[in-house]
Amino acid sequence: MTIEKFWSPRYNGKRFIDHTLPIDALRDLVALKELLDRLAVYHFKQQNNRKRMPSSFFSNFSLNLQNVAEGSAKPVLVILLTSTILNIQASPAYMAYTAAKNMIIKAINQADADEQITAIPREYLRKFDKIGLNLQDDEAIEFAPNAVDGKKAIYTQQTRKKLLQASSSPEVFTKNVVLRGQVDEVNAKGMTFEFSSLAGGKISSSIPDDFFDQLHKELAFCKHGGYVVITGEARYSDSHLETITNIISVDELDDLDIFVQLKDLTELSYGWLDGETGLPLDKQLAHWFEQRFSSFFPDDYPNPYLSPRPNGGLGVEWQIEDKAISFNISQKSNLVDVYFVDISKDKEDILESVDLDTEQGWQSIVALLNKEGHKNG
């Protein structure tokens, strides 16, 4: 067997520093292989002016992942030729795959530099939809980490988006999602389900076999006013959610889920308190709070109870047994006074001017919750 080292993309990011690669990354390699196959065929036909591929082109030829190199998570792609050909590099397939690799590197560099993407015909660019789907905002794949010209073909979510925007169907893209909403209908015959997202929009999606029973159960839960969160992948068209393409988990949301509570409060009718008094929660304020809460409040602490204020503001409070911590938010300021009371110990305190726009501000609330034993578990 003859082995030739072919390509060594490098993953950069906190998740990869311990010499390991998340299993998710293997999906990148599968998608990358598909793109290489397509471009190799394209290149071969172009170079040889042929309409059909020779039957021997792919035989005894495969791309194999050899290992994750020491020092960094660096999957080394190795082409294995199982024929008796000694000079791999002279084989038409090797030359076509090398050309395909160079096309990909050049296209990523073009996207990275905001240049027009000419290295790959636009009909093939959609393949990037499946490459790097799970990359986080602070992660990248260097497809040419040792490029002598310094053009490392750095692939990020931004690069991916640019490549997809240059494709023949630029409006369609897939991304990882966490969708909150309600299951409205489960169609056993067609194995589809209807889902109303809290963010807006009702969509129809296929049911993976292993989720049929659970989605059926969640349908009953949602009919009683419950909400679920679906984690997985979804396809968007023109920034609108089109369909859920893969489900990883479906979980019932707690009544105190922040998104659910905020949505409920923004939908209050005018005069909700007594027929005359009471504004619905201001939508901008709800969005601002949701953003800050999601960014700065740790998952392993209990969610607060949210209540509407008659002036369109928001009451935020944690209550556990004889203790309570609370503050009010209005449209006027990001600074709040946080109040604490423990009636069993006759203790009370006020943290003044806590800035909810900063992590430090939220940390002071968390510290108070921690001190007073409000942490889960």
Partner 1 sequence: MDKSTILFRQIHPKFFKKGRILECAFDPFDHNDISVYDGSKITAKESYNHYKNTFNLESIGVAGLLVEECEQTRVTVTLAPSVKNPAHCLIDFSNIPVKERRLKVMRLCLLANKRGLVYKP
The residues binding partner 1 (CB under 8 A) are 255-256, 265, 268, 272-275, 305, 307-311, 315, 317, 319, 322-324, 326, 328, 337, 339, 341, 343, 348, 350
Provide, rounded to whole angstroms, the least separation between the CB of residue 325 and partner 1. 9
Provide, rounded to whole angstroms, the least separation between the CB of residue 330 and partner 1. 12
CB nearer partner 1, residue 92 or residue 280: 280
Within 10 Å of residue 222's Cβ, how many Cβ atoms? 21
- Per DSSP, the three-state class of 87 is coil
Provide, rounded to whole angstroms, the least separation between the CB of residue 166 and partner 1. 49
Put the strands of the sheet holding 61-68 in their side by side order.
Answer: 2-7, 75-81, 61-68
CB nearer partner 1, residue 204 or residue 328: 328
Q: What is the torsion angle, in degrees rounded to the nearest 10, for the CA atoms of residue 369, residue 294, residue 362 and residue 278?
A: -90
Is the CB of residue 317 less than 8 Å from the CB of residue 304?
yes
CB nearer partner 1, residue 233 or residue 342: 342
- The backbone region for 208, taken as left when phi is positive above 0, alpha when psi lies in -120 to 50, beta otherwise, is beta
CB nearer partner 1, residue 130 or residue 283: 283
DSSP state at residue 217 = H
Nearest 5°: the CA angle 145, 146, 149 is 105
Provide, rounded to whole angstroms, the least separation between the CB of residue 319 and partner 1. 6
Provide, rounded to whole angstroms, the least separation between the CB of residue 182 and partner 1. 19
CB nearer partner 1, residue 70 or residue 276: 276
CB nearer partner 1, residue 162 or residue 180: 180
Copy the structure tokens of residue 117. 């993407």
Provide, rounded to whole angstroms, the least separation between the CB of residue 316 and partner 1. 10
Compute CA distances 263 → 91, 206, 277, whole Å. Answer: 62, 27, 20
Alpha helix stretches (DSSP H) within the chain = 24-48, 92-112, 157-165, 212-223, 258-266, 283-296, 359-371
